[in-house]
């Protein structure tokens, strides 16, 4: 299995370098076609004190947007033109100016999407929360700071038996198969599973092993801690360099209840995170 089409979401100069630091080596490894996407906001109509359209303001706004787009395109081309990879650049416009949301139609035809982790709801990064929820494709979220690797040697798979976890596990097979090891972590398994706690992850371990993956199962108790804290502690303890997680929401009110674990991963996990739903 290979990721033959990869989309890189480039929202601003701050996150673009880190996204490309991940996307270009992956595209080279899998001999993928790499698509760079950036969107700018359409100029908002603005009237002067006299009630007439302020054409000067609109022109300045349009010029600033064009300059940002040109800078990111130049950055993308400078990084990839000598790589020998197949690539293309897509410069888009929308009312939101959010590259992730505006590029959804392109994203849905990709094998993998690479985007930057958000530091907070108010930062200038692309809306990766909505991207994960709406893309229908796996998203690799690049941490906003710290070491960045693309030869993932130790994968941590958070497994709870849900359809989202299953989707993530099998979407991530290209990484899991090539990793030196994959640690399947089951947290607080139901008492009804089996007297042997290892059975909680036994079937997914066997399925991944048939693909040639080297896997182990760890069953953990949260002990009153949040699931996201347990996962982050496990990442730190094992030295995992890729977290694979099924992204989910608890209800249709996803803006308020977009799974607590998922939201934490999209903000604070210090390693790359692979999410599917």
Where is the domain boundary, 97, 115, 142?
142
Same-domain check for residues 215 and 189: yes
166 found inside a domain: yes
Q: How confident is the model at residue 214 (pLDDT cuts 50, 70, 90)?
A: very high
Of 92, 112, 142, the one marking the end of a domain is 142
Q: Give the confidence band of 258 by pLDDT, cuts at 50, 70, 90.
A: very low
- Do residues 201 and 116 share a domain? no
**Domain, as residue range, for 22:** 5-142
Give the integer Cα–Cα distance in Å for 15 and 143: 10
pLDDT at site 152: 94
Examine residue 229 and state whether it is found in any structural domain, yes or no: yes
Q: Dihedrals φ, ψ of 99, to 5°?
A: -65, -35
Number of domains in the chain: 2
Instruction: Report the DSSP pairing between strands 272-276 and 139-142.
Output: antiparallel
| 259 has a pLDDT exceeding 60 | no
Pair 76, 109 in one domain: yes
pLDDT at 59 over 50: yes
Which pLDDT score, from 0 to 100, does residue 54 have? Answer: 55
| pLDDT band (50, 70, 90) for residue 250 | very low
Domain boundary pick from 142, 172, 207: 142
Average pLDDT along the chain: 84
pLDDT digits (tens, 9 = 90+) for 122-132: 556 778 888 88
147 part of a folded domain: no
Q: Are residues 242 and 161 in the same domain?
A: yes
3-state secondary structure of 19: helix
Q: Is residue 227 part of a domain?
A: yes
> Residue 205: pLDDT above 90?
yes
Helices (H), ranges, 96-211: 99-102, 104-107, 128-134, 163-171, 173-178, 202-210
Kindly state whether residues 11 and 138 are assigned to the same domain. yes
Query: Are 198 and 80 in the same domain?
Result: no
On the question of pLDDT at 88 being above 90, the answer is yes
pLDDT of residue 49: 53
Say if residue 18 is in the same domain as residue 103: yes
Q: What is the mean pLDDT of residues 222-242?
A: 90
Tell me the β-bridge partners of 229.
none
Instruction: Say if residue 124 is in the same domain as residue 242.
Output: no
Dihedral angle sign, alpha carbons of residues 88, 270, 261, 14: negative
- Based on the domain organization, do 123 and 162 belong to the same domain? no
Residue 180 has pLDDT above 60, yes or no: yes
Q: Is the dihedral of CA 100, 103, 105, 106 positive or negative?
A: negative
| Between 168 and 121, the higher pLDDT residue | 168
17 and 132 belong to one structural domain: yes
* % residues pLDDT > 90 (the chain): 49
Measured at the CA of 69, the angle between CA 65 and CA 70, to 5 degrees, comes to: 115
Note the pLDDT of residue 145: 80
The reported pTM is 0.87
208 pLDDT exceeds 70?
yes
Does a structural domain hold residue 270?
A: yes
Residue at 149 is within a domain: no
47 band by pLDDT with thresholds 50, 70 and 90: low
pLDDT exceeds cutoff 80 at 262: no
Residue 148 domain flag: no
Closest among 161, 213, 207 to 187, alpha carbons compared = 161
Asked if the structure places residue 199 within a domain, the reply is yes
Q: Are residues 231 and 263 in the same domain?
A: yes
Q: Are residues 168 and 263 in the same domain?
A: yes
- Provide the CATH number for the domain around residue 52: 3.40.50.620
Average pLDDT over residues 219-244: 90
The whole-number pLDDT of residue 28 equals: 95
- Report the C-alpha gap between 98 and 141 in whole angstroms: 16
Give residue 129's pLDDT: 83
């Amino acid at each position: 299995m290979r990721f033959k089409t990869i989309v890189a979401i480039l929202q601003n100069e701050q996150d673009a370098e880190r996204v490309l630091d991940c996307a270009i080596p992956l595209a080279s490894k899998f001999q993928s076609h790499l698509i760079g996407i950036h969107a700018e906001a359409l100029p908002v109509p603005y009237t002067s004190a006299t009630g007439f359209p302020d054409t000067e303001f609109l022109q300045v706004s349009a010029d600033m947007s064009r300059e940002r787009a040109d800078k990111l395109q130049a950055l993308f081309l400078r990084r990839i033109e000598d790589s020998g990879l197949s690539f293309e650049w897509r410069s888009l416009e929308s009312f939101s100016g959010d590259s992730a949301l505006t590029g959804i139609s392109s994203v849905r035809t990709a094998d993998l999407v690479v985007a930057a982790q958000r530091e907070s709801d108010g930062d200038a990064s692309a809306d990766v929360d909505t991207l994960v929820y709406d893309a229908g494709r796996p998203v690799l979220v690049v941490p906003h700071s710290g070491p960045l690797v693309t030869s993932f040697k130790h994968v941590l798979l958070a497994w709870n038996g849900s359809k989202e976890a299953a989707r993530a596990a099998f979407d991530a097979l290209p990484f899991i198969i090539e990793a030196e090891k994959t640690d399947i972590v089951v947290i607080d398994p139901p008492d009804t599973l089996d007297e042997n706690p290892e059975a909680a992850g036994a079937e997914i371990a066997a399925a991944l092993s048939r693909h040639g993956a080297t896997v182990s199962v760890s069953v953990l108790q949260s002990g009153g801690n949040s699931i996201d804290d347990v996962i982050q502690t496990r990442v730190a303890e094992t030295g995992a360099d890729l977290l694979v997680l099924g992204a989910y929401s608890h209800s249709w009110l996803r803006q308020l209840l977009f799974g607590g674990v998922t939201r934490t991963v999209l903000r604070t996990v210090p390693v790359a995170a692979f999410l599917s739903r």
